């Protein structure tokens, strides 16, 4: 293996381990020393790859987004209809965030660059989500009178609330998400769409 490959592998290992620690403990609690120790490398080696914790956070978010995009493409290729795409992507997102320490999401607010990157990624995908929702109307699974612009705004705002609020810390992110997001999805669905949702949830619960 070449030196460049080894360096690249270590770079990815650092990002992966840092993400794992940030998600488990929150950003504030994790020091660069902790990441180096967890990887069994020197702090000097760590700083050869990343100048500071914010840079590591930023690269970690971008790496996570890229992996999610690849998984989403696979889901889209293997799905049979619009509702299956939406539900599969929802459960993919839920799987990624349900075990994340809420302090992680709250502390992200202190890093404007990271928030900007997350918003950029969201804006990039919004037109695709709109297209799926509009396809759902043609398939008879969404109500024709749905204002998707308002719906997307509400869902996006709800996700931020779910992941950062301190009001419902006795509930898991999974419980909060199902209560908020699935309620909105059911509300804009036709009877046909609602049945697809219930069938998908039952199937998903059996396979967990």
pLDDT in tens, 162-182: 888 877 778 888 888 888 888
Q: What is the mean pLDDT of residues 114-130?
A: 78
In a domain, 45, yes or no: no
For the full predicted model, state whether its pTM sits above 0.95.
no
Residue 74's pLDDT band (cuts 50, 70, 90): very high
Is 195 within the bounds of a domain? yes
- CB atoms near residue 91 (< 10 Å): 18
Is residue 84 a part of any domain in this protein?
Answer: yes
pLDDT tens readout for residues 138-159: 999 999 998 888 888 888 888 8
Q: Report how many domains make up the chain.
A: 1
Residue 101 inside a domain? The answer is yes
Give the per-residue SS3 of 136-183: HHHCCCECCCCCHHHHHHHHHHHHHHHHHCCCCCCCCHHHHHHHHHHH
Residue 81 lies in a domain: yes
Q: Give me the domain span that covers residue 151.
A: 62-207
In a domain, 90, yes or no: yes
Using the Cα atoms of residue 170, residue 30, residue 97 and residue 113 in order, give the sign of their dihedral: positive
- C-alpha span between 185 and 84 (Å, rounded): 12
How high is the pLDDT of residue 95? 85
The answer to whether residue 49 sits within a structural domain is no
* Residue 14 domain-assigned (yes or no): no
Task: Tell me the CATH number at 78.
Answer: 1.10.357
What pLDDT was estimated at residue 207? 61
Quick one: pLDDT at residue 4? Answer: 46
């Amino acid at each position: 293996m070449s030196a460049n490959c080894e360096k690249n592998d270590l770079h990815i290992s650092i990002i992966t381990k840092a993400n794992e620690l940030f998600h488990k403990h929150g950003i504030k609690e994790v020091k660069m020393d902790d990441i180096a120790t967890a990887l069994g490398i020197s702090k000097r080696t760590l700083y050869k790859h990343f100048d500071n914790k914010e840079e590591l956070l930023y690269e970690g978010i971008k790496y996570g987004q890229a992996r999610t995009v690849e998984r989403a493409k696979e889901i889209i290729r293997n799905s049979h209809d619009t509702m299956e795409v939406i539900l599969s992507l929802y459960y993919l997102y839920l799987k990624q965030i349900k075990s994340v320490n809420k302090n992680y999401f709250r502390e992200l607010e202190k890093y404007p660059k990271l928030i900007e990157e997350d918003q950029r990624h969201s804006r990039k995908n919004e037109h695709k989500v709109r297209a799926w929702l509009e396809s759902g109307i043609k398939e008879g699974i969404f109500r024709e009178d749905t204002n998707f612009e308002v719906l997307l705004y509400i869902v996006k705002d709800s996700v931020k609330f779910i992941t950062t609020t301190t009001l419902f810390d006795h509930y898991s992110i999974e419980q909060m998400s199902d209560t908020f997001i699935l309620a909105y999805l059911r509300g804009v669905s036709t009877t046909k769409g609602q049945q697809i949702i219930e069938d998908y949830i039952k199937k998903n619960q059996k396979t967990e």
